[in-house]
Chains A and B, each alone.
Chain A
């Protein structure tokens, strides 16, 4: 019989694997991969590669367009690599529109929205997961489902009037509040799923070892919830970073406009676009999301794996 786990021994890096029936009775001969299995694996990789190309195509085309001079943009046979790469599109984009300022506004709004969403959603999700049979929890779940049914246009005017009443029109604070409210239901639903996956037995084991309730939450539950928290923060950040309509309607001063609103300024009548500067500005607008993903993707992956071996 294996010893009972302690809170300390349950840290992600220090997990012991429980022996399984399979590991206790390993098959005497490991089968070598056959040609058929190799072909299947090759097919899988090819399919994955195709999927990656499909996903990456718009981004690569955006990069290509951002560095093309106007004449190449209107070429009948456009190529991937610009013949005469130029930075003029970036220069023009920065000259025409306040990109840095709007990126700063977007960053403030998105980071604040993500942080507040996580701070509010984490305890709520935990309670919902641990008391999922309580009427309050069921009501919250119903609220989440109902909230997803409301389109922007339905709420924007009442929301505008409420925010005007509390003098939060044309303010990043008002926008942040809207973003938090808007992404909270889905964030809650997401996090509750992660919280439900954390075995209650681990918390009980920590309690048996003498950990206080707070200690258990901080040292046992939160590390296991980390991937969920990161994913939720990422979701809230990207939702806010890309959001256009609320920002368009709620922000009036040019000094406060966010990146998605500024990007539309490169579009003229009948959908005609100043394509080069638009691509350059759009490329810059994708960078924060890419950087954020690059920085925290390992956290999501390692966190998920750490959680997986607990069972």
Chain B
């Protein structure tokens, strides 16, 4: 206590010495004298339409609930993890937190996020399929409401596709991985590559697409501990990408270090016939494509037996464990995620809603901008393999990303890749599971 007082006194002393330049503006109490509550909602919406949709819904809530006011706070995907971590540690986290399931594990296991199991209304629980709830379930508790998700799709140059002799895949009849390889080869030539894999962040793309070939990578044992394996089913998709880059050269090697957006100029310029991207990239394509440029959305290739499963990490809404107003926050989430609202949010972010009623909305089944293709894939989306693995971020950054980048560039072979992912990877995970 004495130490705290000393710190406080020294800090206050320094502050008072600064004089009038420092006009203190400390946060006000969040329950007003008349009993009104103020909740802080940190949103990560970043595209214009998405920000508008979020702000409108908050305004509608505030108009209908004058006793529970929600303050909209803008966060950023770029820094959300660090910002939340320090906020949690300091006891100043927002009440309602927008994030994604792949970022929740450490916060959930760390006890920073409230268990929503008893807070959420049955309506909302029934609205979202169990497999989607799994993505935000950690240690038996629900720590976020998954509400938006995006499959990985192939965005294709329609003119090049129609000019070639390849069969155009549909969600009902997708390409197999072998057909995809053949199609990419067919589309290659005259300065055009069949496909451009943006592999700046190769891990999530590789792992999530590998679900279709039965890949799993992370295996949970009877003792609850997770180990890394990299078996034949896990190797199928990386091998395809590797062969396209270094074998028949149907994939451009220049995109190895690129992010999704970086491939778009080449795509618009006819250098690449297809680009595997997240569903929401359509917004950029609509905004940036040259006039008259025809493009289409194709489903990602399927594994044996037409298996189209792929991993996703939906966006979530969570409640801070130390929020004094958890029930009120849950009421806001229920309002925010009503089916028509979910549709507005999905359209704003160019993603798919997780809610079954919202997913049936006709606006999401139009063929325009490939909405129908994406909506048809919603049933095949599964929790990303790394979802609940503690230590995944470190495994990804220190082991998997460099190893996969070296493998795709041809610097190492499959045996070395496997050795690094498994041996080095298990050392990393073991530290988190003692």
**B residues within 8 A CB of A95?**
48
Interface of chain A: mostly helix, strand, loop or mixed: helix
Q: In the complex, are the beta carbons of B92 and A169 less than 8 A apart?
A: yes
B51 to chain A minimum Cβ distance, whole angstroms, is 6
B199 to chain A minimum Cβ distance, whole angstroms, is 12
Q: In the complex, are the beta carbons of A173 and B24 less than 8 A apart?
A: yes
Q: In the complex, are the beta carbons of B259 and A270 less than 8 A apart?
A: yes
Name the interface residues of B307-329: CB closer than 8 Å to any CB of A.
Answer: none
Contact A176 B78, CB 8 Å, known A164-B91, A254-B72, A269-B100:
no
Closest-by-CB residue of A relative to B198 is: A270
B interface bracket (residues with beta carbon within 8 Å of A): 35 or more
B357 to chain A minimum Cβ distance, whole angstroms, is 25
A305 sits at the interface (CB 8 A):
no
Q: In the complex, are the beta carbons of A168 and B24 less than 8 A apart?
A: yes
**A residues within 8 A CB of B106?**
none
Looking at the complex, which one of A77, A115, A165, A167 makes contact with B21 (CB distance below 8 Å)? Answer: A115
Name the interface residues of A69-92: CB closer than 8 Å to any CB of B.
Answer: 70-71, 73-78, 92
Looking at the complex, which one of B12, B27, B75, B83 makes contact with A171 (CB distance below 8 Å)? Answer: B27
Q: In the complex, are the beta carbons of A274 and B47 less than 8 A apart?
A: yes
Looking at the complex, which one of B4, B47, B261 makes contact with A165 (CB distance below 8 Å)? Answer: B4
**A residues within 8 A CB of B11?**
162-163, 165-166, 168, 177
Q: In the complex, are the beta carbons of B74 and A254 less than 8 A apart?
A: yes
* Per-position 1/0 for A218-254, Cβ under 8 A of B: 0000000000000000000000000011001100111
**B residues within 8 A CB of A156?**
86
Q: Tell me the complex Cα distance, A271–B271, Å.
A: 23
Q: In the complex, are the beta carbons of A265 and B47 less than 8 A apart?
A: no
A interface bracket (residues with beta carbon within 8 Å of B): 35 or more
Which stretch in B283-291, B298-306, B330-338, B426-434 binds the other chain?
Answer: B283-291
Q: In the complex, are the beta carbons of A71 and B27 less than 8 A apart?
A: no
A100 sits at the interface (CB 8 A):
no
Q: In the complex, are the beta carbons of B8 and A165 less than 8 A apart?
A: yes
Name the interface residues of B247-276: CB closer than 8 Å to any CB of A.
Answer: 259-261, 264-266, 268-269, 271
Contact A170 B27, CB 8 Å, known A160-B86, A266-B46:
yes
B197 to chain A minimum Cβ distance, whole angstroms, is 14
B14 sits at the interface (CB 8 A):
yes
Q: In the complex, are the beta carbons of B40 and A252 less than 8 A apart?
A: yes
Q: In the complex, are the beta carbons of B261 and A273 less than 8 A apart?
A: yes
Q: In the complex, are the beta carbons of A173 and B47 less than 8 A apart?
A: no
Contact A116 B25, CB 8 Å, known A169-B92, A249-B87, A264-B76:
no
A186 to chain B minimum Cβ distance, whole angstroms, is 18
Q: In the complex, are the beta carbons of B27 and A253 less than 8 A apart?
A: yes
B122 sits at the interface (CB 8 A):
no
B63 to chain A minimum Cβ distance, whole angstroms, is 19
Q: In the complex, are the beta carbons of B77 and A76 less than 8 A apart?
A: no
Looking at the complex, which one of A71, A96, A170, A248 makes contact with B83 (CB distance below 8 Å)? Answer: A248
B73 sits at the interface (CB 8 A):
yes
B172 to chain A minimum Cβ distance, whole angstroms, is 29
Q: In the complex, are the beta carbons of B201 and A270 less than 8 A apart?
A: yes
Q: In the complex, are the beta carbons of B74 and A74 less than 8 A apart?
A: no
**B residues within 8 A CB of A153?**
82
Name the interface residues of A173-191: CB closer than 8 Å to any CB of B.
Answer: 173, 176-177, 180-181
Q: In the complex, are the beta carbons of A254 and B288 less than 8 A apart?
A: no
Q: Tell me the complex Cα distance, A76–B47, Å.
A: 23
Q: Tell me the complex Cα distance, A173–B78, Å.
A: 26
A256 sits at the interface (CB 8 A):
yes
Q: In the complex, are the beta carbons of A270 and B268 less than 8 A apart?
A: no
**B residues within 8 A CB of A271?**
78, 200-201, 259
A254 to chain B minimum Cβ distance, whole angstroms, is 5
Closest-by-CB residue of A relative to B86 is: A249
Q: Tell me the complex Cα distance, A93–B396, Å.
A: 34
A172 sits at the interface (CB 8 A):
yes
Q: In the complex, are the beta carbons of A165 and B26 less than 8 A apart?
A: no
Contact A161 B25, CB 8 Å, known A269-B77, A271-B259:
no
Q: In the complex, are the beta carbons of A272 and B201 less than 8 A apart?
A: no
**B residues within 8 A CB of A115?**
21
Looking at the complex, which one of A73, A162, A265 makes contact with B288 (CB distance below 8 Å)? Answer: A73
Q: In the complex, are the beta carbons of A75 and B265 less than 8 A apart?
A: yes
Contact A267 B24, CB 8 Å, known A76-B266, A157-B89:
no
Name the interface residues of A96-130: CB closer than 8 Å to any CB of B.
Answer: 96-97, 112, 115-116
**B residues within 8 A CB of A142?**
none
A3 sits at the interface (CB 8 A):
no
Closest-by-CB residue of B relative to A256 is: B25
Q: In the complex, are the beta carbons of B7 and A165 less than 8 A apart?
A: yes
**A residues within 8 A CB of B260?**
270, 272
Looking at the complex, which one of B8, B27, B94, B269 makes contact with A76 (CB distance below 8 Å)? Answer: B269
- Interface residues of A, Cβ cutoff 8 Å to B: 70-71, 73-78, 92, 95-97, 112, 115-116, 153, 156-157, 160-173, 176-177, 180-181, 244-245, 248-249, 252-254, 256-257, 261-262, 264-275
10 A-B pairs with C-beta separation under 8 A: A75-B269, A160-B92, A165-B11, A170-B26, A172-B25, A248-B79, A252-B73, A252-B87, A261-B76, A270-B260
